[in-house]
Structure 1
Amino acid sequence: MEKQGGNGCKRQVVVESPVRPLRSLVRPCFIFLLFLSTVIVIILLGFPDRFSQTDWWKNLSLYTYYHRWTNPDRHRGPSPTTIPPTTVPAPPSTTIRPLPTNHNHLGYPRNYHFIVDEPDKCNTQTPFLVLIVPVAPGNLAARDAIRRTWGNETMVQGKKVQTLFMLGLPGGPVAQELQEKVNQESQVHHDLLQSNFLDSYLNLTIKTMVIMDWLATHCTNATYAMKIDSDMFLNVENLMTMLLRPDVPKVNYLTGMLMWDRPVIRNPNSKWYVPVEMLADDRYPTYTLGMGYVFSNDLPERFVAVSKDIKLFNIEDAYVGACMKKLGLSPTNSPDPWQWKAYLGKYNRCEFSKVITYILSRSSQIVEYWMDLKKTPGSPCH
C-alpha cells in the first residue's frame, strides 16, 4: 500500500502542470487575506472611539467613510463631529467648509453660523428675561403649543419677556421640504433661530452653545435668560417672582434642578453614554438638569469663550456645568428648590400654580393644563 501510494504520487507529479503548485496556493492565501480583513474590521468596529481619536488615522481619506459607517446615528445625517454644509439644503456639489484651525473643539459655537436669525429682537424692546427653546425643525406642534401658552407671556410683573426657538438643520429625505416650511414659519412668527449644524440628539451640546452665542452677540442687554425644553410646562409668573427677589444675584448665577456628583455613563447601550475619549472624568461637575435652567445674562459670553478649551461631549446640561467649573463657578440652589419639578404624576391644578417647571409627555398637555390653570380668577387651590 505504501509503495502504491508512492507510485501514485510520482505519477501525479509527472502528469501535473508546472503551474499547478502555484494554483494550489491561491485558496489558502485567499482564506488568510479574508481572515486578516475580518480581524481588521472587528477591531475598527469594536473600538471606534479609540481610532477616531488617533491623529494618523484621521489623516487617511478612508477615515471619513469609516466614521460614517461606525456612527450609530449615520442614518440621520452627520454626527456631532461632522462639519456641516454651508447652505440649506446642501446640493451634492456643495463644498464642505473646514472649521477654523484655531478652534479645535466642536462645542465652540462660532464654528457655525445662523441661516435664520432675528438679530433685532432684543433691540426694539429690552427684555428682562429671554426664553430660548431648543426644538427639532419638524416639531411645529410643540412650537405652536408654546406660542399659545407660556410663550405668549410677553409682559410679566411689568417686565418684558421674549420667547424664541432654536433649530438646527433638518436631515433625511424630506430635509428640503421641511426647511421650506421652517422658512415660511419664520416669515409668519419671526421667532425662529436656526444654525447650520445637524439637528439631532447627539448635537444638543452644540445647539445649547449656539443659544449661548446668540445671547452673547444679539441680546446682551437682557438681565436673565433661560434654556427650556419644548416639552416643558413653564409658570412664567413664578419664575419672574423668583428672579425679582432681592437675594437672587444678577451676575454669575445659574439655577434650576441641581444635579450633584452624578456618574458618567460608560454603558454603550445607554442613551446617555459618554466614552472616555470624550470625557475622562468619571463624575460630572455639579450641573442643572437640562429640562430648564435660568442664568444671569453675563454668563453666555463667558461660556462661549471657555468652550474653546472644553472638549465636546454629548450631555449638554453637564457640559454647561463643565463651563461653570472652568470659570471657577458653580450652579446655585434657587430660593425654593422644590419649584423645579421634573414630574408631578397626575395633573393637579393647585400644584401647577406653585411650580416653575414640569415635564409633560405631549404638546397638547401644555395647552390643556395652561387653559385649565388660567380659566378662572382667584386661587387655583380653592
Structure 2
Amino acid sequence: MEKQGGSGCKRQVVVESPVRPLRPCFIFLLFLSTVILIILLAFPDSSFQTDWWENLSLYTYYRRWTKPDRPLGPSPTTIPPTTVPAPPSTTIRPLPTNNYHFGYPRNYHFIVDEPDKCNTQTPFLVLIVPVAPGNLAARDAIRRTWGNETLVQGKKVQTLFMLGLPGGPDAQKLQEKVNQESQVHHDLLQSNFLDSYLNLTIKTMVIMDWLATHCTNATYAMKIDSDMFLNVENLMTMLLRPDIPKMNYLTGMLMWNRPVIRNPNSKWYVPVEMLADNRYPTYTLGMGYVFSNDLPVRFVEVSKDIKLFNIEDAYVGACMKKLGLSPTNSPDPWQWKAYLGKYNRCEFSKVITYIVSRSSQIVDYWMDLKKTPGSPCP
C-alpha cells in the first residue's frame, strides 16, 4: 500500500486575517462529501449503496474483523458465470444465513468433476491432493511418480487433485488451461470457491464431501499436499496391518496441545472471533493424513456445527473432537516426516511422507529410489 506524505494539497501563502479562509482542499472534500451524500439519499432502496461500499478496499478489512468466520475473497455466489461456466446440470446452492455454515461443503458445487472415478476403479485407497490451479508442475511431478501407483500390494489406489477457482486478471485463461488438462488426464476435481490459502479449510471439507458422495466404496482415503513425497508402498504396508482400524481412524504426524497463534503477522494467525479456544484439539499435520473412509460423511455433517477457521488440519481435529473421537498415533510415528535434511536413499525408502522444496525433487528422489532393484540400504 502506498503511503501519502502530506495532505495532498499545495501549501498556500498564509495572510493574517481575523477570519481564516477555507483552504481549496477542504472546500473540494466538502463538495465531494455532499455529492456522495446526495447520491446515497437518492438511491435508498437500490443495490448501489452496497456495491459502492463493497468495492472499497476498506470493506475487505471491515468484513475480516466484523465477520471473521466468512472466507476471505469473493463469495462463490458472486463469481460471474462468464468467468467459469458451470455445467448446465449443476445447481448453485445459495449460502445459508447461519454463519457457522461457511465451512459446510455443500454450499459449493463442482464445476470439474470425475463422479464415476471410484465406481469404475473400486479403490482400496484414494489419494486427494489439494493444489492451486496454476501449479501444473506439482501435478505433473506427482503423475510421474507416486500418483502413478495404481496397484500396490494387490490393492487399487486412485489419485485425484482438488482445485478451487483461479483468481487475478488471468483467471479466465488459467481456467481454460485447467479445463484442457482435465480433458487429457481426467484426474481433476474443481469446486467454485476461490482458491486461496485462507480458504484451505473449505477446500479440505469439499474433499471430504466428494469422498462422502462419490467414493463411499473405498476403504481409506488420504489428504496429501502437493509439495509432498509419498511412499505409497510403505503407506499400504501400514494400512494392511491387522491392527489398523477400518472405522473411526485418522492418523499422520500428530500435534498435541498446540497453541492458537494470535499474532496478526503470523501466517497461521487465527482471531479470537474465529476460534475462542487458545489450544487446538489433537490433530494431524496437514502435510498428509490418512483416514478410514467412514469419516468423510460424518465430517461433512458435523461441520454445520463448527465455526469455520482457517487452519484446515486443526479444523479436521475439531471435527474429530465434536464426534467424540481422536486421531490415532501411527504404528511407526517416525515414518511421518516433515523434513529429513539432506537426501539419503536408505532413509527415504523407510518413510511415508516427506516435504520437498520444489516439484522436481519429487521426480529426482522417486527415480533414484526406483532405479535399482533390491534393498536401497547397504
Fold in common (TM above 0.5):
yes
Match of 1:230 in 2: 226
Residues 80-129 of structure 1: per-residue CA shift (max 9 Å, x gap):
99889796169999999741346742110000000000000000121000
Alignment RMSD: 9.7
Residues 315-365 of structure 1: per-residue CA shift (max 9 Å, x gap):
000000000000000000010000000000000000010000000000000
Inter-CA distance 40–346: structure 2 relative to 1 (3 Å threshold): farther
Match of 1:204 in 2: 200
Any idea what SS the aligned residue of 1:104 has?
helix
Residues 222-274 of structure 1: per-residue CA shift (max 9 Å, x gap):
00000000000000000000000000000000000000000000000000000
- Per the TM alignment, residue 220 of structure 1 is displaced from its structure 2 partner at its CA by 0.2
Flag as ranges the 4+ runs of structure 1 deviating above 4 A: 1-23, 28-66, 68-77, 79-87, 89-97
Deviates more, 1:68-77 or 1:212-221: 68-77
1:116 aligns with 2:116: no
- Per the TM alignment, residue 78 of structure 1 is displaced from its structure 2 partner at its CA by 2.8
Confirm or deny: 8 A CA contact 2:145 2:362 kept in the other structure: yes
Question: Which one of 121, 124, 127 corresponds to residue 125 of structure 1?
Answer: 121
Residues 258-292 of structure 1: per-residue CA shift (max 9 Å, x gap):
00000000000000000000000000000000000
- Where in structure 2 are there 5+ consecutive unaligned residues? none
Deviates more, 1:46-55 or 1:206-215: 46-55
How many residues are paired up? 378
Using structure 1 for the length normalisation, give the TM-score. Answer: 0.80
Deviates more, 1:33-42 or 1:276-285: 33-42
- Where in structure 1 are there 5+ consecutive unaligned residues? none
Confirm or deny: 8 A CA contact 2:69 2:308 kept in the other structure: no
Inter-CA distance 214–14: structure 2 relative to 1 (3 Å threshold): closer
Any idea what SS the aligned residue of 2:330 has?
coil
Residues 30-77 of structure 1: per-residue CA shift (max 9 Å, x gap):
699999999999999999999999999999999679538999999995
Inter-CA distance 225–233: structure 2 relative to 1 (3 Å threshold): same
In structure 2, C-alpha distance between the alignment counterparts of 1:364 and 1:80, rounded to whole Å? 33
Residues 1-49 of structure 1: per-residue CA shift (max 9 Å, x gap):
99999999999999999999999xxxx9969999999999999999999
In structure 2, C-alpha distance between the alignment counterparts of 1:190 and 1:338, rounded to whole Å? 34
Using structure 2 for the length normalisation, give the TM-score. Answer: 0.81
Inter-CA distance 267–18: structure 2 relative to 1 (3 Å threshold): closer
Match of 2:2 in 1: 2
Inter-CA distance 289–185: structure 2 relative to 1 (3 Å threshold): same
Inter-CA distance 357–12: structure 2 relative to 1 (3 Å threshold): closer
Confirm or deny: 8 A CA contact 1:142 1:231 kept in the other structure: yes
Structure number with larger C-alpha Rg: 1
1:332 aligns with 2:332: no
Confirm or deny: 8 A CA contact 2:69 2:274 kept in the other structure: no
Any idea what SS the aligned residue of 1:313 has?
coil
Inter-CA distance 165–32: structure 2 relative to 1 (3 Å threshold): same
Identical counterparts, % of pairs: 93
Inter-CA distance 81–335: structure 2 relative to 1 (3 Å threshold): farther
Deviates more, 1:348-357 or 1:29-38: 29-38
Confirm or deny: 8 A CA contact 1:232 1:366 kept in the other structure: yes
Residues 190-218 of structure 1: per-residue CA shift (max 9 Å, x gap):
00000000000000000000000000000
Inter-CA distance 42–234: structure 2 relative to 1 (3 Å threshold): farther
Inter-CA distance 2–118: structure 2 relative to 1 (3 Å threshold): closer
Inter-CA distance 273–32: structure 2 relative to 1 (3 Å threshold): farther
Match of 2:83 in 1: 87
Any idea what SS the aligned residue of 1:292 has?
strand
